[in-house]
Chain A
Amino acid sequence: MLALAPFASLVVRAFGVWGTGLGANPVAMVTDTLGLWGLRLLLATLALSPLRYATGSSDWLRFRRMLGLFAFCYLSLHFTMYVAIDQSFNVGILVEDVVRRPWITLGFTALLLLVPLALTSTRSAMRRLGRRWQQLHYAIYPAALLGCWHYYWQVKRDVRSPLLYAAVFAVLMAARAWHKRAALAQRLTAAPAAPAAHEAR
């Protein structure tokens, strides 16, 4: 439910209630806010596994689908703002942007990568796809990377904020690698004592 707060705040500001507003450039303001929250929620989704390693509790994973879908929702709205409101469905410009502007190409690719993930987020899709579901959902890693890169290339000069997001992404990925290594080392040391474990894996 907290993930709805940024959206609610945009709606409140759009109506100018309580003395709020969207500022001088509402299109940029709404588009940027949606994109930024999309990226934040995407990184929050990626933070759940490291939280599980750190706390030893799998409870975190219950939020994974919800956060991932919220991230996708914000990013879809971010894309819709750009297509419908900013560029008024001008196909010529949209095609030129996606093909010729690397930062738009990156953002668009990231969103495309997330589409099958959102479509296969149901329990029945998980059952149907079995092991391939996990493989498919690894696409969130390149999507988040492209998202950070898209943000980095979008800013004019002050890259401190995009670099911060990229750093968070790097830390979350490093946590995964470290956990994997630790788990592997544990299995290797355990292997001589219980040779059967190797086959069971």
Chain B
Amino acid sequence: MPMRPQPGLKPSEITPPEVYAARRRLLTGALGLAAASIVPRALATAQPVGAALAFQRNPALSTTETPNSWDDITTYNNYYEFGTDKSDPSSNAGSFRTRPWSVAVTGEAEVKGSFALEDLLKPHALEERIYRLRCVEAWSMVIPWVGVPLGEVLKRFRPTSKAKYVAFTTLADSRQMPGQRSSVLDWPYVEGLRIDEAMHPLSLLAVGLYGRVLPNQNGAPLRLIVPWKYGFKGIKAIVRISFTGQMPPTSWNRAAPYEYGFYANVNPAVDHPRWSQKTERHIGSGLFAPRRPTLPFNGYAEQVASLYTGLDLKRNF
């Protein structure tokens, strides 16, 4: 299932790093700022950090678009547990403890209990998948995640025929997550998928980024990635997976039911009540780049549209 390149992206829009580095040097020089060389440079050139992971690339499930920089991906985050500004998670999540970590599995499954993260992941090979991410706020990125297919993990718990949905819960710990001391959302954060969505090969449990262990601000140690849905479906720091017969509540839907639905599929034809979803601003494309058209299911329609046959996507937004 190779991804098609995004039509709005022209090769000329991608600035090779050496070219923009040269431009920066030129600008710095032109401004006569000799001192610039002795003060810390912008973090835009920051290299990936953290423990390296052993993984295989999965080009068949990866987009060919250029991933965003490590810096963009790790400093521009919506993770209200650590604050509501985009820069809050990278500032506040540094001391968050992700080891030891265990995940409780409950509900309509034959295998249940509490599992250490290592045991949860052990039977699976880590793979890298470069996915598009479209935020409900109408911006987008391209991110090289490392993780395991969610469906493969879920199958090991042998969900029963009563399992129609899968619910996920984030850790609740206001001492470690300062954002949970404010009531901006109901804590802990909860999300959910229909079981067939969860079993889809594109659904990923991510543990890494750019071949490194996932940074705390990106949802370490375990987060969900569903690339055809808005970013808020990608619940972070997962401590519970529950198989249910009923559609589980989801945090943003509870907070503003008219603005955020359970499905939250990326859909340029259904606007957010307050803003348009027709276009998106691609992070990293610079100050003067035009917005790009948003694609149905974030460009993954070929793979996932069949999951929603007969479902009114305008009502089930």
Q: Using CB atoms and an 8 Å cutoff, list the residues of chain A in contact with chain B.
A: 14-28, 30, 85-88, 93, 96-97, 101-103, 153-154, 156-158
Partner of B71, one of A14, A22, A24: A24
Partner of B276, one of A17, A27, A28, A97: A97
Chain B residues positioned under 8 Å from A88 (CB to CB): 290-291
Determine whether the beta carbon of A23 is less than 8 Å from that of B87. yes
Chain B residues positioned under 8 Å from A93 (CB to CB): 276, 278-279
Chain B residues positioned under 8 Å from A26 (CB to CB): 286-287
Least distance between B34 CB and chain A CB atoms (Å): 12
Closest to B83 in A: A158
Determine whether the beta carbon of B40 is less than 8 Å from that of A19. yes
Determine whether the beta carbon of A87 is less than 8 Å from that of B287. no
Determine whether the beta carbon of A85 is less than 8 Å from that of B288. yes
Q: Is B184 interfacial (CB-CB < 8 Å)? A: yes
Determine whether the beta carbon of A156 is less than 8 Å from that of B137. yes
Determine whether the beta carbon of B31 is less than 8 Å from that of A24. no
Partner of A30, one of B28, B36, B72, B287: B287
What is the CA–CA distance of A103 and B272 in the complex, to the nearest angstrom?
Answer: 13
Determine whether the beta carbon of B281 is less than 8 Å from that of A86. yes
A16-B42, A17-B28 given; 19 more Cβ-contact pairs under 8 Å: A16-B24, A17-B27, A17-B31, A18-B36, A19-B36, A19-B41, A21-B42, A21-B44, A23-B75, A24-B72, A24-B76, A25-B86, A25-B281, A27-B287, A86-B281, A97-B276, A156-B137, A157-B80, A158-B182
Chain B residues positioned under 8 Å from A15 (CB to CB): 27, 31
Q: Using CB atoms and an 8 Å cutoff, list the residues of chain B in contact with chain A.
A: 24, 27-28, 31, 33, 35-36, 39-44, 68, 71-72, 75-76, 80, 84, 86-87, 137, 139, 182, 184-185, 255-256, 274-276, 278-279, 281, 283-284, 286-288, 290-291
Determine whether the beta carbon of B291 is less than 8 Å from that of A158. no
Chain B residues positioned under 8 Å from A103 (CB to CB): 274
What is the CA–CA distance of A20 and B42 in the complex, to the nearest angstrom?
Answer: 6
Partner of A157, one of B75, B255, B278, B290: B255
Closest to A15 in B: B27
Interface SS of B by simple majority? loop
Interface SS of A by simple majority? helix
Closest A-B pairs by Cβ, 6 of them? A24-B76, A158-B84, A24-B72, A21-B42, A19-B40, A26-B287
Most chain A CB atoms below 10 A, which of B41, B137, B275: B275
Partner of A102, one of B27, B256, B274, B276: B274
Determine whether the beta carbon of A153 is less than 8 Å from that of B281. no
Chain A residues positioned under 8 Å from B40 (CB to CB): 19
Chain A residues positioned under 8 Å from B33 (CB to CB): 17-18
Q: List 12 A-B contacts (CB under 8 A).
A: A18-B33, A18-B39, A21-B44, A23-B87, A24-B72, A24-B86, A26-B287, A86-B291, A88-B291, A101-B276, A154-B274, A157-B255
- With A24-B283, A87-B291 known to touch, is A158 a contact of B274 (CB < 8 Å)? no
Least distance between A72 CB and chain B CB atoms (Å): 23
Determine whether the beta carbon of B274 is less than 8 Å from that of A153. yes
Most chain B CB atoms below 10 A, which of A15, A87, A97, A154: A15
Chain A residues positioned under 8 Å from B137 (CB to CB): 156
What is the CA–CA distance of A157 and B75 in the complex, to the nearest angstrom?
Answer: 20
Least distance between B301 CB and chain A CB atoms (Å): 23
